[in-house]
Amino acid sequence: METMGKFFRQIGFFTLFCVILLSGLTPFLQAQSHQHIRVTDHPVLSAINQEVESGNISREEAILQSIYAGFAPERLDSKYHYERGESLPIRCFTPILMEYENTKDELSAGTVSEVEALTSSPSSADMQSYRSPSGNFILHYDMEGEDAVPLEDSDGDEVPDYIEKAAFAADSSYRYEVEKIGFMDFLKSKPYEIYFQNFGLYGRTRSSGSTTIIDIHNDFEGFPENTHPEGNQTGALYATIAHEIKHAIQYATNRWEGEAGNTVWSEMDATLMEEIVFDDVNDYYNYIMQYDKETDDWDRDEPRRSSIFGSPEDPTPGSYNHITWMLYFAESYGMQFWVDVWRIIREDYLITDHEENLIPFIDAVEQVLNNDGKNLRNEHIKNHLWHAAAGPNLEISDFGFEEGPEYPNSNFSESIYLEPNDSISIDLRELNSLAATYINVSASTLSLGQPKFNLQASQNNIGFGVVAKFRDKSSDYLISLDPNLNEQSIQSTWYWKDLEQLIIAVIDIGEIGDAFNVNNYKSDNNFKLNLKISSVIPESDLIAQNYPNPFNPTTNIKFALTEQKNVTVEVYDRIGRKISTLVDEQLSRGFHTVRFDGTGLASGVYFYRIVTDQAAVTRKMVLVK
């Protein structure tokens, strides 16, 4: 308890500093953050928010008071004082430095001088130094005093194990993030400097001329839990170094300018690298769910309210707690996806004269998706489906995040049991731009036919998706999105008798570029949604046009049967050569979907032919690459 008390006394004002800047001051800074981010309420936060919003203090005074709160609490105005020992450590100090850098030119010389003096690192001349095995990093540390690192030296080489582990983490992070994945090299000159200090945060990356310097906590004593096999201290050290090195890469890429340098995007990006480089640490679990000290495990029934799992109704982006939004793309398309995003940001930075004209972060994301024939709206819906289907309660192992069963159970706005052969109509609460609401439906084995979903909204730009969990523990999903319609339907090919649960996510996909912009956040109080779930049995055979059409490289061919019968589905090119037989078997009564993949085929016109005992139908489709 004495150790924890010491730790919390150290971190109290630093935590306040991070929270104030993320929620209170940031809307007034040049690189603004959106105001809908959920943060922990705090008396000082509320006081500074009120003072700034009411115009009682200037932006400059608000920044200075926050610097005092973090580095010189004795100078903090007494009206902002509070009882220390109530908060968790700052995850990363880099966003605060980004905000300061982005406003430094607007501050007085006296304020700049004071901030620089308060936030500078100690002199390396007074510290021990150790060069990493790769030679890329030099680590400065103390072995006595308040900044001393743990002194254990198991190999007797007079270098603390803590520093050797830190050097390993730095070399590994550089090798993985720069040399293997391909992010921009941030080493302007060797060796790159890393300092160790006793402060109330995990770490920070600060600019120094044309490069940056990283500061890391000196011992991580009493910090939150993680899953590293060598313990929380090692895990926190590894995750923090991977995180801060990504901030150094960001600075080398675009000098933390424009929306890509905004707190919410930059922190999501850096937090992602913790998981990518050191997968066995999982410190980011602390961002998405509560830790239960009594059970010595994360409470998966208590998702963080600031995470997507806890509050899908809060839009993305959302800083650390929305790391899983970025993880979706990394797991779906590989880390090359994010390398390509930052390449676009870099290229735009080099040719754009004014910071306000730099490409918005989400536009770079959309450009990468479009280059691969993908659609950001669809991906955002599927992203939410991954979140809705996570957690141990649903036991869905073949859909969603790789660690999905270890994630928290998401909050559902509705949990419904559908009676046999019944339909249900659900009125949903309003949605914010780029936010969602989740619905959990338990299915009856006695229901006949196949589920149909009909969504009516009072405005356009609404999409939804459904994940089916079958009784054999397999899964499937469907998505409906037409931004120009306020009524959409999904007719599934699933049978109620095979279903155990349906997980539905309804999303306001907005005007996608504007909605993801951190300065544009809206809520329509007159917005209304109605979702109807019913059961359908086809009354006649039906052959639908494939969708999408044109397509690249896949499309779906849908048809309905009124009774069980033999069916053949074949694809031909324009001169009548058979390309593929997709189906040749007896199918049951109901709705069916067959997927055709045109990978490896040339662009052009193709035909699909569906043959049953009673009829043969041929339709045209177009592959465009």
User: For residues 32 and 424, what is the distance between their CA atoms, to the nearest angstrom?
Assistant: 43
Q: Please give the residue that has the higher pLDDT: either 214 or 76.
A: 214
Considering only 32-46, 196-210, 215-229, which range has the smallest mean pLDDT?
32-46
- C-alpha to C-alpha distance for 580 and 523, rounded to whole angstroms: 49
Q: Does 16 have pLDDT greater than 50? A: no
Is beta strand 542-543 parallel, antiparallel or unpaired with respect to 475-481? unpaired
Which has the closest alpha carbon to 21: 52, 4, 1?
52
Name the DSSP class of 29.
S
Predicted pLDDT of residue 168: 98
**CA dist., res. 155 & res. 157, Å (int):** 6
Cβ 288 vs Cβ 296: under 8 Å: no
Q: How far is CA 231 from CA 55, 163, 225, 290, 445, in A?
A: 47, 16, 8, 19, 47
Higher pLDDT, 415 or 434: 415
At residue 355's C-alpha, the angle toward residues 354 and 359, to 5°, is 105
Locate 147 and state its tokens. Answer: 């900044």
Q: Give the containing element (helix H, strand E) for 244.
A: helix 232-254
Burial class (CB in 10 A: 0-12, 13-18, 19+), 444: middle
CB 148 within 8 A of CB 155: no
Q: Between 424 and 290, name the one with better pLDDT.
A: 290
Q: Is 330:337 a contact under the CB 8 Å cutoff?
A: yes
Of the CA atoms within 13 Å of residue 387, those in its CB half-sphere come to: 37
3 state SS of 342: helix
544 pLDDT tier (thresholds 50, 70, 90): confident
**Rounded Cα distance, 395 and 372, in Å:** 31
Q: Which residues on adjacent β-strands are paired with residue 581? A: 570
**Chain position carrying tokens 């870099």:** 346
> Whole-angstrom distance between the N-terminal and C-terminal Cα of the chain?
64
How would you class 590 by CB atoms within 10 Å of its CB: exposed for 0-12, middle for 13-18, buried for 19 or more?
buried
- The tokens for 543 are 């052959």
pLDDT digits (tens, 9 = 90+) for 357-376: 999 999 999 999 999 989 89
If DSSP codes are grouped into helix, strand and coil, which group holds residue 547? Answer: strand
pLDDT at 552 over 60: yes
Taking only the tens place, the pLDDT of each residue in 261-274 is: 888 899 999 999 99
Mean pLDDT of 489-495: 92
Residues 6+ apart with CB under 8 A from 103: 29, 30, 59, 63
Distance (Å) of CA 45 to CA 62, 65, 621: 11, 11, 59
User: Is residue 463 pLDDT above 80, yes or no?
Assistant: yes
Asked if residue 277 lies in contact with residue 338, where contact means CB atoms within 8 angstroms, the answer is no
Query: What percent of the chain lies above the pLDDT cut of 70?
Result: 84
Contact 80, 48 (CB under 8 A): yes
How far is the C-alpha of 577 from the C-alpha of 574, rounded, in Å? 8
Mean pLDDT score, 383-397: 94
More confident residue, 423 or 127: 127
* 128-140: pLDDT as tens digits: 999 999 999 999 9
Q: What percentage of residues in the chain have a pLDDT greater than 90? A: 56
Contact between 316 and 434 (Cβ < 8 Å): yes
SS (H, E, C) 140-177: EEECCCCCECCCCCCCCCCCCHHHHHHHHHHHHHHHHH
Local confidence band at 42 (pLDDT 50, 70, 90 cut-offs): very low
206-235 average pLDDT score: 93
Range scoring the smallest mean pLDDT among 163-172, 325-334, 398-407, 444-453: 444-453
Q: How far apart are CA 2 and CA 94, in angstroms?
A: 29
User: Under 8 Å CB-to-CB from 461, ≥6 apart: which residues?
Assistant: 483, 508, 509, 510, 511
Q: What is the CA radius of gyration of the chain?
A: 27
Rounded to an integer, the average pLDDT of 531-535 is 89
- The larger pLDDT score, comparing residue 60 to residue 7, is at 60
What is residue 341's predicted lDDT score, i.e. its pLDDT?
A: 98
- H or E stretch covering 100: helix 94-103
For range 49-59, the mean pLDDT: 79
**Which residue is associated with the tokens 């590989």?**
334
- Rounded Cα distance between 520 and 527, Å, is 18
Query: What pLDDT band is residue 6 in, cutting at 50, 70 and 90?
Result: very low
Work out the average pLDDT over 580-604: 93
**Tokens in use for 116?**
């620089």
Phi, psi of 511 (to 5 degrees): -80, 100
In this predicted structure, the answer to whether residue 524 has a pLDDT above a threshold of 90 is: no
Residue 17: partners with Cβ closer than 8 Å, 6 or more residues away: 66, 67, 69, 70, 90, 96
Lowest-confidence pick of 34-38, 123-127, 496-500, 617-621: 34-38
Higher-confidence residue: 8 or 524?
524
- CA dist 458 and 404 (Å) reads 33
> What pTM was computed for the model?
0.81
E strands within 285-435?
289-292, 297-303, 414-417, 424-428
Residue 18 near residue 94 (C-beta atoms within 8 A):
no
Contact partners, residue 360, CB within 8 Å, separation at least 6: 258, 259, 513, 516, 517
Residue 198's CB is within 10 A of a number of other CB atoms, namely 15
Q: How many CA atoms lie within 13 A of 299 on its CB side?
A: 11
Q: Can you list the positions of beta strands (E) in 400-537? A: 414-417, 424-428, 436-442, 450-457, 462-470, 475-481, 487-491, 499-508, 529-536
